[in-house]
């Protein structure tokens, strides 16, 4: 019908029965009419039978992304009335949620978002997340620190997903090549001191004629050698609940930082950085990591590295042991992080999203993910399920009960970023630890002040 | 600089000040004209004017981007003065702009002079030099990052081969800004093509006259080429300064986590603005930063423009 009207109009114009102005008017009317009809047709409930699509955004990359994909497929095969669509958004940096923020403001946000759990409080404080209490969220099956991280102002804003723990990985072949018996680092012998790690690492360092490192024994800050890692190891707590103060400048953290700075100065901080720095760039391919290719003998990393080793260095002989300690006889301390799922503001299918989240972050989802990814579950009951942990994975499950966690503050993202800048200044020998850490406090405390007092429990 | 006077055509009807008397036909023409440019007009109002006005408003508030903005008056602007990172970002950005723009102009001039030689293969070089300008900036940044990689980069291998120390360009706070200045030179091709057009526009008769008077090539460059190129150099400076102050993409891709590292050495102004808006939930402060940047850019552009009366030469007939 529309076509005929259009042809007729063109014919009239050509035969000069209407002028150009009249032609424009009628063509516009025709176009507007066609749009109205097509719009109305879209409202006709021919598609009403199609299931609702719940959009789930994640920043995960492989190998974990594939696991999420198969979990979603499993869920979809049993879901009724809705289907979940997993969408990978570009891998972001730790505290960056730009895409989520802009999409939510633009009305095109997802129904479920995969959020690093330690910044849930900050994003909840920003008003980006939905309070889950109305949906009947019950966090009681989850381990205590995961519960605390998923809560802001006493209200649940997330369901905890996985967790993890950090430990020292060491390569047998490299240690043996420098005449060191890897048995010394066997977990059965308990933790060694950080100074002993420095002694073991020394003979493994190799340089080319220009003095550039071609092989190294240990770089404190590579991979999971974060500020929190060393701070916790020396006994730092990072937050004083009684005074509602961030404490990056406490003595334990200054001591930890001083050890790291001295280690780097000893080996020439710039040269150590030239060797290890690229691995800390976002998107650095894990298969090229010096520990995987065999040019770094020891590193601190998490449970997920078991899968990476299996995939990219299946023949490498390596061990996993306790986080080293400052002094002989000290208790080894590690820390745990992990992810969560949240419903952002503006989500269009809240009920369905909630149904999916309960499965995904509940027992069925966590069982699959723990087994496949070698991460750890946050549901307390699953931690005692020995079926879920095989071999090396078991070691991390045993670390979890005593693991520390980052204080879940409504300034968690900023605290992390500021600590990271200070950490870089420390290991690059740009600034004394005490002054770099004091700057962190100066920058974070004013932002925290308006949320005080804060109850961690 | 001579200001041009625009004289109203004599046919224009005399109008009383403040009143726009249009005939019915003129009004209709105006309406049709506005209707025809309406796609642009609506886009301009919605995507440019509205956000600009909106940022003024939120720059006086504490606002995360969600919920209700809380009015805090001039606090955001006052806080800037005591914010160390604000000053770090200002220093880094000025450092980068002060080096990248003049170096860029010199590199572009050299390229333009080289492309102005009467050689048959010049069009090929011109295409090659222009290619980086049509490649997306993030692609170019990734390529560059690999070229200057401390262990695998071709450029670094070359430095080592020359017996020079291996520099971790983006990992070492001492070199990170310089590495960004070098990266900016990829964009010189675009400016060079504009410079080349200006070179071609210089009348050959001037060179002939100078040659007859015995002027050397060097003298001809300083006496003829450079003065007559100053209008395009002015254009390049104003554009370069404005773009230089807004450097973001390269830093965001290269500098790691958080953007602006290592140790804040590449914390450029817009990167700091971005961190505040999208990482720290300080959209109000970020809006205030944006306004300060706008004012500073405008003042710098005006200063350069005002200074042009002393150094820019327009060809007069």
Supply the pLDDT for residue A41.
57
CATH fold match for the domains A52-162+337-405 and A166-333+411-449: yes
Strand partners, A341: A114, A159
Tell me whether residues A93 and B257 touch, CB distance under 8 A.
Answer: yes
CA distance B189 to A171: 49
- For B88-97, write each residue's pLDDT tens digit: 999 999 999 9
Supply the pLDDT for residue A30.
75
> CA B93, B98, B103 angle in degrees (round to 5)?
125
Compute φ and ψ for A86, nearest 5 degrees.
-85, 125
Q: Is A313's Cβ below 8 Å from some Cβ in B? A: no
Q: Is A105's Cβ below 8 Å from some Cβ in B? A: yes
Domain B79-311 indexed as CATH 1.10.3720.10: yes
CA distance A275 to A289: 11
Q: Where are the domains of chain B?
A: 26-77, 79-311
Tell me whether residues B254 and A281 touch, CB distance under 8 A.
Answer: yes
The mean predicted confidence, pLDDT, of chain A is 90
Supply the pLDDT for residue B9.
47
Ranges assigned E (strand) in A354-438: 376-377, 404-405
The answer to whether the CB of A120 falls within 8 A of the CB of A410 is no
Residues of A in contact with B163 (CB under 8 A): 210
Supply the pLDDT for residue B170.
87
Chosen from A417, A442, A445 to mutate, greatest number of chain B CBs within 10 A: A417
User: Which fold, A166-333+411-449?
Assistant: D-Maltodextrin-Binding Protein; domain 2 (3.40.190)
Say which residues have a Cβ less than 8 Å from residue A129's Cβ, sequence separation at least 6: A115, A120, A123, A157, A158, A342, A343, A344, A345
- For B237-275, write each residue's pLDDT tens digit: 999 999 999 999 999 988 877 889 888 999 999 999 999
Tell me whether residues B279 and A414 touch, CB distance under 8 A.
Answer: yes
Angle between helices A98-105 and B269-278 (to 10 degrees): 60
Residues of B in contact with A277 (CB under 8 A): 150, 168, 170-171, 262
Q: Is A94's Cβ below 8 Å from some Cβ in B? A: yes
Residues of B in contact with A275 (CB under 8 A): 150-151
CA distance A353 to A364: 16
Chosen from A20, A92, A268, A430 to mutate, greatest number of chain B CBs within 10 A: A430
Tell me whether residues B278 and A128 touch, CB distance under 8 A.
Answer: no
Nearest to residue A129, comparing CAs of A342, A339, A358?
A342
Residue labelled with tokens 């003129």 = B26
| Longest distance between any two alpha carbons in chain A, whole Å | 101
Q: Is A269's Cβ below 8 Å from some Cβ in B? A: no
- When CB atoms are compared, the residue of A96, A275, A443 closest to B278 is A96
Q: Where are the domains of chain A?
A: 2-43, 52-162+337-405, 166-333+411-449
Burial class (CB in 10 A: 0-12, 13-18, 19+), B239: middle
- When CB atoms are compared, the residue of A96, A105, A210 closest to B279 is A96
- For B285-295, write each residue's pLDDT tens digit: 999 999 999 99
**How far apart are the CA of A397 and the nearest CA of chain B, in angstroms?**
29
Q: Is A275's Cβ below 8 Å from some Cβ in B? A: yes
Q: Compare all CA atoms of chain B with the CA of A290 and give the residue at the minimum distance.
A: B151
Tell me whether residues B171 and A210 touch, CB distance under 8 A.
Answer: no
**How far apart are the CA of A336 and the nearest CA of chain B, in angstroms?**
20
DSSP B191-234: HHHHHHHHHHTS-HHHHHHHHHTT--HHHHIIIIIHHHHHHHHH
Residue labelled with tokens 């020292």 = A168
Chosen from B165, B281, B283, B285 to mutate, greatest number of chain A CBs within 10 A: B281
Q: Is A237's Cβ below 8 Å from some Cβ in B? A: no
Tell me whether residues A273 and B279 touch, CB distance under 8 A.
Answer: no
Tell me whether residues A128 and B261 touch, CB distance under 8 A.
Answer: no
Supply the pLDDT for residue A220.
97
- For A99-157, write each residue's pLDDT tens digit: 999 999 999 999 999 999 999 999 999 999 999 999 999 999 999 889 999 999 899 99
Joined tokens for residue B145? 């990052």
> CA A93, A98, A99 angle in degrees (round to 5)?
105
Residues of B in contact with A210 (CB under 8 A): 160, 163, 165-166
Q: Compare all CA atoms of chain B with the CA of A427 and give the residue at the minimum distance.
A: B263
Q: What is the pTM of this model?
A: 0.84
Burial code (b: 16+ CB inside 10 Å, e: under 16) for B32-53 equals eeeeeeeeeeeeeeeeeeeeee
Ranges assigned E (strand) in A59-160: 82-88, 112-116, 151-152, 155-156, 159-160
Tell me whether residues B279 and A212 touch, CB distance under 8 A.
Answer: no
Q: Is a pLDDT exceeding 90 seen at residue A201?
A: yes
Element (H, E) at A64: helix A64-78
Q: Look at residue B72 and give its three-state secondary structure.
A: coil
> Would you state the CATH architecture of domain A52-162+337-405?
3-Layer(aba) Sandwich (3.40)
Supply the pLDDT for residue A142.
95
Supply the pLDDT for residue A448.
94
Residues of B in contact with A22 (CB under 8 A): none
Q: Is A128's Cβ below 8 Å from some Cβ in B? A: yes
**How far apart are the CA of B279 and the nearest CA of chain A, in angstroms?**
6
Residues of A in contact with B151 (CB under 8 A): 212, 274-275, 278
With a pLDDT cut of 70, the percent of chain A lying above it is 94
- For A396-417, write each residue's pLDDT tens digit: 988 888 889 999 999 998 999 9
Chain B residues with a Cβ under 8 Å from any Cβ in chain A: 64-67, 84-85, 145, 149-151, 160, 163, 165-168, 170-173, 254, 256-264, 274-275, 278-281
Supply the pLDDT for residue B16.
53
Angle between helices A350-360 and A363-373 (to 10 degrees): 50
Residues 355-384 of A with CB under 8 A from B: none
Q: Is a pLDDT exceeding 90 seen at residue A29?
A: no
Joined tokens for residue A136? 């009947």
Specify the range with the lowest mean pLDDT, choosing from A3-17, A237-251, A358-372, A431-445. A3-17
CA distance A311 to B45: 54
DSSP secondary-structure letter at B46?
I
Calculate the CA dihedral of residues A311, A313, A315, A318 and round it to 10 degrees.
-110
- For B23-66, write each residue's pLDDT tens digit: 889 999 999 999 999 999 999 999 999 999 999 999 999 999 99
**How far apart are the CA of B9 and the nearest CA of chain A, in angstroms?**
29
Residues of B in contact with A21 (CB under 8 A): none
Nearest to residue A277, comparing CAs of B185, B206, B80, B166?
B166
CA distance A161 to A126: 22
**How far apart are the CA of B163 and the nearest CA of chain A, in angstroms?**
8
CA distance A452 to A132: 23
The mean predicted confidence, pLDDT, of chain B is 88
ipTM of the complex: 0.80
The answer to whether the CB of A241 falls within 8 A of the CB of A454 is yes
Tell me whether residues B263 and A424 touch, CB distance under 8 A.
Answer: yes
Q: Look at residue A88 and give its three-state secondary structure.
A: strand
Tell me whether residues B168 and A273 touch, CB distance under 8 A.
Answer: yes
Supply the pLDDT for residue B4.
43
CA distance B259 to B263: 10
Q: Is a pLDDT exceeding 50 seen at residue A35?
A: yes
Tell me whether residues A274 and B172 touch, CB distance under 8 A.
Answer: yes
**How far apart are the CA of B207 and the nearest CA of chain A, in angstroms?**
51
Residues of A in contact with B166 (CB under 8 A): 210, 212, 274
- When CB atoms are compared, the residue of A125, A127, A280 closest to B256 is A280
- For A238-262, write each residue's pLDDT tens digit: 999 999 999 999 999 999 999 999 9
Nearest to residue A131, comparing CAs of A119, A140, A120?
A120
Categorize the per-residue pLDDT at A3 as very low, low, confident or very high, splitting at 50, 70 and 90.
low
């Amino acid at each position: 019908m529309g076509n005929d009207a259009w042809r007729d109009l063109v014919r009239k114009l050509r035969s000069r029965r209407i002028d150009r102005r009249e032609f424009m008017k009628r063509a516009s009317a025709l176009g507007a009419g066609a749009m109205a009809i097509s719009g109305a047709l879209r409202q006709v409930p021919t598609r009403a039978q199609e299931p609702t699509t719940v959009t789930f955004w994640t920043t995960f990359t492989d190998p974990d992304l594939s696991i999420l994909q198969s979990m979603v497929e499993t869920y979809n095969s049993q879901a009724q009335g809705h289907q979940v669509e997993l969408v990978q958004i570009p891998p972001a940096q730790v505290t960056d949620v730009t895409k989520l923020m802009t999409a939510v403001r633009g009305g095109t946000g997802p129904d479920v978002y995969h959020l690093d759990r330690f910044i849930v409080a900050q994003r909840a404080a920003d008003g980006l997340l939905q309070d889950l209490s109305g949906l009947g969220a019950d966090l009681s099956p989850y381990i205590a620190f995961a519960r605390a991280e998923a809560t802001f102002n006493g209200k649940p804003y997330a369901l905890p997903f996985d967790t993890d723990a950090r430990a020292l990985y060491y390569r047998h072949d490299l240690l043996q090549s420098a005449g060191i018996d890897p048995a010394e680092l066997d977990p059965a012998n308990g933790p060694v001191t950080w100074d002993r790690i420095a002694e073991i690492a020394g003979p493994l360092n190799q340089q080319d004629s220009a003095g550039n490192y071609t092989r190294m024994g240990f770089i404190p800050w590579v991979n999971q050698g974060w500020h929190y890692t060393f701070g916790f190891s020396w006994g730092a707590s990072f937050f004083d609940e009684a005074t509602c103060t961030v404490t990056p400048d406490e003595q334990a953290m200054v001591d930890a930082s001083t050890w790291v700075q001295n280690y780097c100065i000893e080996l020439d901080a710039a040269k150590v950085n030239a060797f290890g720095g690229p691995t800390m760039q976002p998107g650095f391919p894990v298969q090229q990591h010096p520990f995987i290719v065999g040019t770094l003998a020891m590193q601190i990393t998490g449970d997920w590295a078991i899968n990476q080793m299996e995939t990219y260095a299946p023949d490498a002989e390596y061990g996993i042991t306790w986080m080293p300690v400052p002094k002989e006889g000290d208790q080894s301390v590690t820390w745990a992080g992990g992810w969560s799922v949240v419903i952002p503001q503006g989500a269009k299918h809240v009920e369905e999203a909630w149904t999916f989240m309960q499965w995904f972050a509940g027992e069925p989802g966590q069982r699959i993910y723990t087994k496949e990814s070698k991460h750890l579950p946050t549901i307390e009951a699953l931690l005692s399920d020995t079926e879920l942990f095989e071999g090396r994975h078991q070691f991390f499950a045993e670390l979890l009960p005593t693991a520390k966690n980052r204080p879940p503050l409504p300034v968690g993202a900023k605290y992390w970023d500021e600590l990271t800048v200070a950490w870089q200044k420390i290991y690059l020998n740009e600034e004394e630890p005490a002054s770099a850490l004091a700057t962190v406090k100066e920058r974070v405390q004013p932002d925290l002040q308006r949320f005080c007092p804060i109850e961690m429990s | 600089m001579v200001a041009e006077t625009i004289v109203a055509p004599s046919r224009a009807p005399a109008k009383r000040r403040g009143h726009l008397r249009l005939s019915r036909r003129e009004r209709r023409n105006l309406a049709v004209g506005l209707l025809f440019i309406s796609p642009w007009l609506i886009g301009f109002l919605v995507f440019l004017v509205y956000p600009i006005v909106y940022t003024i408003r939120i720059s006086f508030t504490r606002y995360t981007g969600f919920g209700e903005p809380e009015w805090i008056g001039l606090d955001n602007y006052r806080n800037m003065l005591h914010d160390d990172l604000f000053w770090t970002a200002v220093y880094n950005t000025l450092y980068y702009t002060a080096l990248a723009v003049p170096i860029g102009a010199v590199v572009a001039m050299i390229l333009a002079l080289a492309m102005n030689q009467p050689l048959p293969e010049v069009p090929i070089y011109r295409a090659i030099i222009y290619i980086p300008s049509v490649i997306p900036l993030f692609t170019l940044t990734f390529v560059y990052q690999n070229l200057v990689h401390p262990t695998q980069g071709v450029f670094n291998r070359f430095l080592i081969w020359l017996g020079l120390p291996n520099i971790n360009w983006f990992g070492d706070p001492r070199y990170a800004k310089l590495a960004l200045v070098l990266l900016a030179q990829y964009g010189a091709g675009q400016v060079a093509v504009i410079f080349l057009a200006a070179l071609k526009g210089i009348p050959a008769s001037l060179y002939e006259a100078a040659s007859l008077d015995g002027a050397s090539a060097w003298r001809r460059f300083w006496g003829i080429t450079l003065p007559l190129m100053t209008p395009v150099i002015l254009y390049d400076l104003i554009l370069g300064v404005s773009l230089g102050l807004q450097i973001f993409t390269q830093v965001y891709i290269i500098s790691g986590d958080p953007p602006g590292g290592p140790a804040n050495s590449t914390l450029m102004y817009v990167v700091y603005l971005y961190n505040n808006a999208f990482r720290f939930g300080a959209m109000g402060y970020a809006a205030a930063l944006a306004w300060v940047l706008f004012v500073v850019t405008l003042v710098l552009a005006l200063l350069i423009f005002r200074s042009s009366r002393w150094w820019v030469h327009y060809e007069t007939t």
